[in-house]
Every structure is written in structure tokens, then in C-alpha cells.
Structure 1
Amino acid sequence: MSSQHHYFPEINARTFNPMNDVAFKFIFGKEERKDITIAFLNAVLSPSLKHEIKDIVFQQTELAPENIEDKLTRLDVACTLDSGEQVDVEVQVMNYKNMQRRTLFYWAQMYLMSLKKGQDYRELKPAITINILAFELLPQDNPVSMYGIYNIETGDRLNDDLAIYFLEIPKFAKGPKNPSTR
């Protein structure tokens, strides 16, 4: 029996869409399938993390605002890596023209909530947001992009506390661009 049938015995390939929020959370946000989430995170984050992820702990996906008037943050899949980094994985099918700001908002909420009253700023936990998009958003051809805080003049990175990834699914389907056809 293949591992796919072991995890998802009633999946019909024609009717199943992993970009659906419910399906995505079912696959990547459940303790009993966390090995799938770890494999995905290692594949996406390995170029920049400098270590292999061996374990994760799933976190609450609703981050309650401090004030009643503030906006509630509802993440798709939230976890903490065995090395301490916090990760939010978002799947977005529709382009509501707000993804750049929305991802910063989600990242900021995770980062802010990692520090408890009385803790020193050195105890802030790096936060990583991965956005899986069913549409093209960014100008570059590469389907995977990582953003951080860099010095505009030198390219030096301030720190590793902010990392925002975009995986643009339509760009994967196009394949690599031939530089001679641009």
C-alpha cells in the first residue's frame, strides 16, 4: 500500500484540490501527518535555514488581538520548529491584491506574540511565513522567492528574524525561462 493511500484513503484525484483551505490544513496541519509538513518545510527552507528540521510543534492558528478593536489573525498552518523558529504556511487561491501587506501583518503578529511580558528582546523568535499562491504576484520569473530585511546599498542582511517566502504555483508550470527568448 502506498503512503498516499495510507494517509488519504478516500481521495479521488479528480475532485481533490490541495489548494483548498480545508484540504490544505487537513494535509499539512495535523499531528498525525506532521512528517509531510516537516518534509515540505525542509524542501522550502533548506537553502536558507542552515539546519534540517527534525520536529515541529503545531501552534494555535488564531492569534487573538490585544484590543477588542484590533483585527483577529487566522493562520492556515502555524508551527514552531525544533530550532525555535515560528512558521506560518498560508495558501491563497484568489488574488485580493493585498498579499504583500497581509503577509507582513501575519508575520508581525507571530513575531510580536513570541515575546512575553518581562522577556528581553533577545528572546524574540525568528518568524517565517510561506505563502503558496495559485496566482502570479511578483515580477521575477522564479516561482520561489524569499524576502528578508537587507541593506539596500550593500545587500547585507540585518538578521534572520524575518523571512517571507512566496511559492507561485503558475510559475512552476511554465518551467525555466530561456534567457535567449526574453
Structure 2
Amino acid sequence: MEIKEIELDQNTITEKDIITDKVGIMDIKAELNNNMECDIEMQVVNQKNIEKRILFYWSKIYSKTIKEGNGYGALKKSVVILIADFEFDRFKSIQKYLTKWKIREEDYPKIVLTDVLEIYIIELPKYSKYAVDEKIESLNLWVKFIKNPEVVIMINKNDSKTVKETKKAINKAKKKLEELSNNEHERYLAELREKYTRDQYEIQAYGYDKGVEEGKIEGRKEGKLEGIIEGRKEKSIEIAKSLLTQNIDMEVIIKCTGLTKEEINEIRKK
């Protein structure tokens, strides 16, 4: 299987896109030489309904493979690859970092309804524990690079042809990444996105810790739940204050914090 064509999203990414979580969706689109469409998405923060979102992305790709006037037979196989920097709670018992998903019959799991749907999920935190399978050495190299773009990938004379080609591709990607890093605007957007991601982690962690603390004090589930809600609210207010100082649009602040327009206006007055 070879990549016939790769298409990067050419739309201009703005600060507003980053804060409203419009980036990181359909990052890379690739057309493979065996008549397949493939989309790759990277997700840093574990957000709600991620499984449903993946299926939604796949449906958009699949529906676009047929042109007006063609029959359903013209639909192409479509693949979504999700690279997640977190572990799925439901997958804790799965002892590998790469999982492959299809539509199967419940009582006869070996029977697949159709091969036009494939979803791959890579859980980066599991990589260090389960990256021992030599059968996927090329994939291991790519994941190693994604986790640490500064890693040095050396081509050895004993490498197989596939591994050599993979290493060449990674070094090419590394060079392209360095070029983007030298672009002042791209660097600014990367820093802003990193800040937003960090804030999202903080909202989750702070809300949870606060909820546990309140739950212990109250000694009941209601107290814990109230604590979680209160903790998230306080963190949202802090983020709103920061965004207001940067003159970010009201609708963006509402989207990012979950606060109402009235609440944000009250914060602005203080």
C-alpha cells in the first residue's frame, strides 16, 4: 500500500479557531493507491463523545467519495486514524497501543458487514508499554517521532527496505516541521494552541480535585458533585479574565469557558 497523494488543510488557522476547538480536525487527508481515502486526526485533550466524533468524521469522508450521478458502487473505502495523547477509559484492558475497528456481526465476530469502514486508534501513552511488536516496526518509528519530534532517526545498513523508507519519510517530515517552526506566525499559533490545551487540562484536573476535596468534607456524593462544578466554574472565570485582557471575541470566550454572556460582562466590570 502506497500513498498516492497527501492534502493538507490549506485554510488559514486563526486564534479563534484554536480556542473554539476547530483545529485538529481532519488534519491530513491522504489518497492511497488502492483507491482508499484516509484522514488522520490528532487529539490532545480527552473530550466528550470522541467515539461519536470519529464516526462523524468518517461519514463525511465516505460521503464525499461519490460524485453526483454515480451509483453507490462508486463509494470508496474510507479510513480514519485517530492519534490520541490519552488513554480511552473503555480500552484500559486492551494491551496494545494500536486498535483497529470495523462493523462486525455480534454473534459471529469474524464476519464483517463491509470493509469500506476502518477506524484506527493510536493511544500514545500506551506506546512505551506495548511497542515491542516487530511486525509494526515502521509504525513504532512514526509514533516515536510523534511523541518526540527531536528524536534522531538513523538509517542502518541492516534495516529492511520498508524500515529504510519509513526512516527517510520521518526525516523528511522532521525537516518540514523545522521549517514550520521557523515561521513566526506558525510558531505563535502553536504556542497559543499549547496554552489552550494546557488550560483544558487544568479545567479538568482542578474541577476533579476540588470535587474530591468537597466530597470528603461533605461526606456524600452531592458534595463531591457540587465541588466539581464549583471548581470548574472558578477555573472558567480565571480563563475568561485572561481572554478578556487579550480582547478575545465574546462568542469565543463563551465557547471556551461555558460561561454566559451576562457572567462574562460581570467579570469585565470587576
TM range (shorter): 0.5 to 0.7
The alignment's C-alpha RMSD in Å is 2.3
Query: Which residue does the alignment assign to 1:30?
Result: none
Aligned pair partner of 2:5 in 43, 52, 57? 57
> How far 1:58 moved relative to its partner?
2.1
Structure 1 CA distance for aligned equivalents of residues 71 and 9 of structure 2: 25
**Aligned partner of residue 31 in structure 2, secondary structure:** strand
Unaligned runs of 5+ in 2: 11-21, 132-270
Structure 1 CA distance for aligned equivalents of residues 103 and 65 of structure 2: 19
Query: Which residue does the alignment assign to 1:113?
Result: 64
Query: Which residue does the alignment assign to 1:27?
Result: none
**Aligned partner of residue 119 in structure 1, secondary structure:** coil
Structure 2 CA distance for aligned equivalents of residues 79 and 100 of structure 1: 21
Structure 1 CA distance for aligned equivalents of residues 59 and 66 of structure 2: 12
Is 1:170 matched with 2:125? yes
Q: Deviations 1:51-70 (Å, cap 9, x if unpaired)?
A: x22x32124648xxxxxxxx
Higher relative contact order structure (alpha carbons within 8 Å, sequence separation ≥ 6): 1
> How far 1:99 moved relative to its partner?
1.5
Query: Which residue does the alignment assign to 2:55?
Result: 104
Query: Which residue does the alignment assign to 2:113?
Result: 158
**Aligned partner of residue 110 in structure 1, secondary structure:** helix
| Contact 2:76-2:116 at 8 Å conserved across structures | yes
Aligned pair partner of 1:136 in 87, 93, 100? 87
Structure 2 CA distance for aligned equivalents of residues 113 and 127 of structure 1: 10
| Contact 2:35-2:76 at 8 Å conserved across structures | yes
As a proportion of its length, which structure holds more strand? 1
Is 1:94 matched with 2:45? yes
Larger radius of gyration: 2
> How far 1:172 moved relative to its partner?
1.1
**Identity of matched residues, %:** 30
As a proportion of its length, which structure holds more helix? 2
> How far 1:108 moved relative to its partner?
0.3
Structure 2 CA distance for aligned equivalents of residues 79 and 121 of structure 1: 21
Unaligned runs of 5+ in 1: 1-51, 63-71, 177-182
> How far 1:92 moved relative to its partner?
0.8
> How far 1:113 moved relative to its partner?
0.8
| Contact 2:96-2:130 at 8 Å conserved across structures | no
Q: Structure 1 runs of 4+ off > 6 angstroms?
A: none
